[in-house]
Amino acid sequence: MSAKSFSTVTVATVLIFFLKIQLSRQAPLNGSKWSYIGPDGEKAWPKKYPFCGGVFQSPINFHKDILQYDSNLLPLEFIGYNVPSTDQFTLINNGHSVKMFLSPAMSIRNLPFEYTASQLHLHWGNQNHSKGSEHTISGKHFAAELHIVHYNSEKYPDIAAAMDKADGLAVLAVLLEIGPFNPSYEKIFRHFQNVKYKDQKVLVPGFNIQELLPDRLDEYYRYEGSLTTPPCYPSVLWTVFRYPAKISQEQLLALETAMYCTESDDPEPLEMVDNFRNVQEELYECFCAKKQCRVICVNVKNWKGSSAALYHYKNTAFSFSCTSLCCLFFSCCICAWATVQE
Ligand SMILES: [Zn+2]
């Protein structure tokens, strides 16, 4: 073994050791509280959830300096998305968002693994400031954002096992903007009055979930990032569709005003508004010092090489765990060094 390969193995061993310690120190998924405002707001997340202060954090702003065309990216294929109305989804207010559990018969293909659907949920702003998307394009916020969460069912038995693994999750993100009334979104939105308060649930008849996606599915941004809520595991392969879907002003208002983060008997009800995480520019830029370290790829028809489109961010499994660790225990500079060494 050469000196160089020995040092690489040593560095990797030490980093994996620290990563294991870090994972074991993670706060439990339930039991620790977090929020979007107040003392438990996003600035405080890293105290209880160290990955939230780490690398590969989402959401991000897609801007032309970090985007790169990738002709290898294919449009996704949606399997079992057309769920019959005889099946039912459970819609729940979990105190952070409104979430709908999906059928395990739903999956997506044309990613490195097959990913099975788990749930969808939304992020939004408030009625005075309808800028509630998490991802932004050239600095522009959209009104809201839908996330459809899938887990790697080729490698892991369920989402709990997958969610802290580098290749564990794939999330589809649909940006929402104001347009005509959207009857497909209404199949969820019409039930909001039954999930006004935390822990309330209601059954929603099955429908074709693909109706929630934008018309153009062939153009999207692709990158490796994280959960946008604690524990912020850097385990998500993101597909953010370039074109937004549209819902009406009234539908957006219903989303922004219908629900509370608190239970029905709470003496201090807290409106469920502004439940989006801000873009993770600083940590992102830190790693972007070396452009090749974080590049997002695009695949669009009529690509001219300058405008944003369908983007893909590549990194190896090694640099993933390495960089995650580095920002947890050392500094981003050391992290960048280790990645470059590898
Ligand atoms: Zn989300």
Sign of CA dihedral 63, 59, 197, 162: positive
Instruction: Please tell me the distance between residue 75's alpha carbon and the centre of ligand 1 in angstroms.
Output: 22
The pLDDT value recorded for residue 142 is 98
The pLDDT value recorded for residue 72 is 84
Please report which confidence band the pLDDT of residue 124 belongs to, taking 50, 70 and 90 as the band edges: very high
DSSP output for 241-279: ESSPEEE-HHHHHHHHHS-BSS-TT-SS--B-----PPP
Instruction: Please tell me the distance between residue 12's alpha carbon and the centre of ligand 1 in angstroms.
Output: 31
CA 121 to chain centre: 10
H or E stretch including 327?
helix 317-329
52-59 average pLDDT score: 90
The β-bridge partners of 146 are: 122, 174
The pLDDT value recorded for residue 56 is 87
Question: Can you tell me the distance from the alpha carbon of 138 to that of 152, in angstroms, rounded to the nearest whole number?
Answer: 30
The answer on pLDDT for 143 being more than 70 is yes
Please report which confidence band the pLDDT of residue 332 belongs to, taking 50, 70 and 90 as the band edges: very low
The β-bridge partners of 151 are: 116, 169
State whether residue 7 is helix, strand or coil: helix
Task: Choose the weakest-confidence range: 180-184, 250-254, 294-298.
Answer: 294-298
Please report which confidence band the pLDDT of residue 26 belongs to, taking 50, 70 and 90 as the band edges: very low
Question: Can you tell me the distance from the alpha carbon of 150 to that of 162, in angstroms, rounded to the nearest whole number?
Answer: 10
Rounded to the nearest 5°, which phi and psi values hold at 157? -75, -25
Catalytic residue among 63, 96, 129, 191: 96
Whether cis (ω within 30° of 0) applies to the bond prior to 231 is: yes
Q: Residue 43 burial (CB < 10 Å; 0-12/13-18/19+)?
A: exposed
State whether residue 47 is helix, strand or coil: helix
Higher pLDDT, 111 or 294: 111
Percent of the chain scoring above 90 in pLDDT: 66
Q: Could you give the angle at which helices 317-329 and 332-341 cross, rounded to 10 degrees?
A: 160
Instruction: Please tell me the distance between residue 279's alpha carbon and the centre of ligand 1 in angstroms.
Output: 13
Instruction: Please tell me the distance between residue 122's alpha carbon and the centre of ligand 1 in angstroms.
Output: 6
H or E stretch including 118?
strand 115-124
Instruction: Please tell me the distance between residue 302's alpha carbon and the centre of ligand 1 in angstroms.
Output: 31
Q: How far is CA 177 from CA 130, 173, 183, 244, in A?
A: 9, 13, 15, 6
Rounded to the nearest 5°, which phi and psi values hold at 136? -130, 155
Q: What angle do CA 258, 262, 263 make, to 5 degrees?
A: 100
Q: Catalytic site residue 135?
A: no
Question: Can you tell me the distance from the alpha carbon of 277 to that of 147, in angstroms, rounded to the nearest whole number?
Answer: 13
296-310 average pLDDT score: 36
The answer on pLDDT for 177 being more than 50 is yes
Instruction: Please tell me the distance between residue 96's alpha carbon and the centre of ligand 1 in angstroms.
Output: 10
Strands 61-62 and 136-137: parallel
The pLDDT value recorded for residue 228 is 98
Reference 56, options 320, 291, 296, 328; nearest CA is 320
Question: Can you tell me the distance from the alpha carbon of 127 to that of 139, in angstroms, rounded to the nearest whole number?
Answer: 21
Any residues with CB less than 8 A from the CB of 6 and at least 6 apart, and which?
none
CA 240 to chain centre: 9
Higher pLDDT, 218 or 186: 186
91-117 average pLDDT score: 97
Instruction: Please tell me the distance between residue 72's alpha carbon and the centre of ligand 1 in angstroms.
Output: 27
The answer on pLDDT for 9 being more than 70 is no
pLDDT 10s digits, 198-224: 999 999 999 999 999 999 998 899 999
Instruction: Please tell me the distance between residue 226's alpha carbon and the centre of ligand 1 in angstroms.
Output: 10
